[in-house]
Amino acid sequence: MKLLVLREGIHGTNAADYAERLRERLPDHEVVLARTPEAEEREIADARVVTGASIDADLLGHETRLRLFAGEYAGHGHLPLDAFEERGVGLTNAAGVHAPNIAEYVVGALLSHVRGFLDAARRQERREWRPMPVGELAGSTVTIVGLGNIGGAVAEKLRAFDVETVGIRASPEKGGPADTVRGPDDLHDALSRSDAVVLACPLTDATRGLLGSAEFTTMPTDAVLVNVARGPVVDTDALVTALRRNVIGGATLDVTDPEPLPEDHPLWNFGNVQLTPHNAGATPRYYDRLADLVAGNVRLAAEEGWDAAFENLVLPVGRE
Residues marked as catalytic: 230, 259, 278
Which residue from 227, 200, 174 is spatially nearest to 98, judged by alpha carbons?
200
Length of the chain: 320
Q: Report helix, strand or coil for 96.
A: coil
Peptide bond into 260 cis (omega under 30): yes
Per-residue DSSP letters for 102-158? HHHHHHHHHHHHHTTHHHHHHHHHTT---------STT-EEEEE--SHHHHHHHHHH
- Burial of residue 133 (CB within 10 Å: 0-12, 13-18, 19+) is exposed
Instruction: Report how far residue 181's alpha carbon sits from residue 33's, in angstroms, rounded to the nearest whole number.
Output: 44
Q: Does the bond joining 258 to the residue before it have cis omega, within 30 degrees of 0?
A: yes
